[in-house]
Amino acid sequence: MIAILKKELNLFFASPIAYLVIAVFLLINGLFLWVFKGEFNILNAGFADLNSFFFITPWFFIFLIPAITMRSFSDEIRSGTIEILKTKPITVWQIVIGKFLGSFILIIIALTPTITYIYTVIQLGNPVGNLDFGITLGSYFGLLFLAGSFTAIGLFSSTLSNNQIVAFIIGVALSYFIFYGFEAIAEFNLSQSFPIENLGLYSHFKSIARGVIDTRDILYFVSITFFFLYLTKIKFDNK
pLDDT of residue 191: 57
* 102 contacts: CB under 8 Å, gap ≥ 6: 4, 5, 7, 8, 9, 12
- pTM value is 0.92
pLDDT of residue 78: 81
pLDDT of residue 153: 97
Per run of 10 residues, the mean pLDDT along the chain (length 239 residues) is 83 83 91 87 79 93 94 82 76 92 94 91 77 87 96 95 93 95 75 75 90 89 96 86
pLDDT of residue 2: 83
CA–CA dist 73, 23 (Å, integer)? 24
pLDDT of residue 156: 96
**Alpha helix (H) residue ranges in the chain:** 2-14, 16-30, 51-69, 74-79, 81-87, 92-111, 115-124, 133-158, 164-176, 182-186, 201-209, 215-238
